Structure 1
Amino acid sequence: MRTALFELQKALFQRLSNDAALSSKVGNRIYDAVPENTPFPYLSIGEPTMRVFDTKSSFGENIVLSIHCWSAYQGKKEAFEILNLILESLSGPPLQIGGGFKLQDFRREQMNVIIDIDGKTKHGILELRFYINN
């Protein structure tokens, strides 16, 4: 029994990094750990939560993972555009999860845009659910 958490993160990073439309908006600024003084806009792959998704014949994981976008645009428009680009990128062919894992299902859980504590930065949060078998 193993976890697909890192393999899922790698697959998401690869998909988002190789999307031309998303890259035209955020460049190559897609992070696990965001460097200090990173210019806006950018993305960060957030915190996963895993629950057991076992069957009689396989081990599996039900993983909820957040993708965050950060924008300094005056309104929320840029954050909404970035969230749409992420959804479009992930709506293509199914993610290929490495390490012998198989993606069974993928869906959106929730999405919102908030104004960060500084009162200026727009913070988009997209929660995704992945069912992955070992």
Structure 2
Amino acid sequence: MSALNLAADALIMQQTLHAALANDLAVTATLGDPIRAFDDTPDDPVYPYLTYGQIRSEDTSGDAAPQSTHQMTLHLWSRYAGRAEVFDLLRMVSDTIRDSVPHTVLPLYTDVFRAPDGRTFHGLLRLSVTLTLETTA
């Protein structure tokens, strides 16, 4: 039985992703400084912005080391005329996370569609992030 705390690991994973995004110049040039990345969307948000969505965590430990894997959805929101800004945000966020997060990160899928309000484009980026705990012998 591993001694993982999946909730604590999920929080670490989200904080690590947030720090990587907040410290990237391209991201802050687009999403502001401090970045507009929210757990709970403000009543009157400034576009574009990012929201943290569903997180699913599981213990994927093996014989070698304790490990947890987290699937997380990032939501990107834009009111730019057309999908171009959302695609650019998806690329930028994906590149930043891939290059800056010290964990195994696999993009699972992206999706871009018009939100129900008819004015906003909504991009989804679903990630799988694996955290492996270092063990000492």
Sort the TM-score into its range (normalised by shorter chain): 0.7 to 0.9
Q: Do structure 1's residue 35 and structure 2's residue 42 form an aligned pair?
A: yes
Match of 2:120 in 1: 121
Equivalent residues, number: 126
Using structure 2 for the length normalisation, give the TM-score: 0.85
Moved more, 51-60 or 62-71: 51-60
Match of 1:112 in 2: 111
Please identify runs of 4+ aligned residues in structure 1 that moved more than 3 A.
none
Match of 1:81 in 2: 88
| SS, match of residue 92 in structure 1 | helix
**Alignment root-mean-square deviation, CA:** 1.3
Quick check: which one's helix share is greater? Answer: 2
Q: Any gaps of 5 or more consecutive residues in structure 1? A: 97-102
Using structure 1 for the length normalisation, give the TM-score: 0.87
Relative contact order higher in (CA < 8 Å, ≥ 6 apart): 1
Matching residue within 22, 27, 33 for 1:22: 27
Matching residue within 98, 110, 118 for 1:91: 98
Q: Among the aligned pairs, what percent are the same residue?
A: 24
Instruction: Compute the displacement of 1:46 (Å).
Output: 1.4
Q: Do structure 1's residue 8 and structure 2's residue 13 form an aligned pair?
A: yes
Match of 1:52 in 2: 59
Question: Aligned equivalents of 2:91 and 2:43: distance in 1?
Answer: 26
Question: Aligned equivalents of 2:13 and 2:98: distance in 1?
Answer: 16
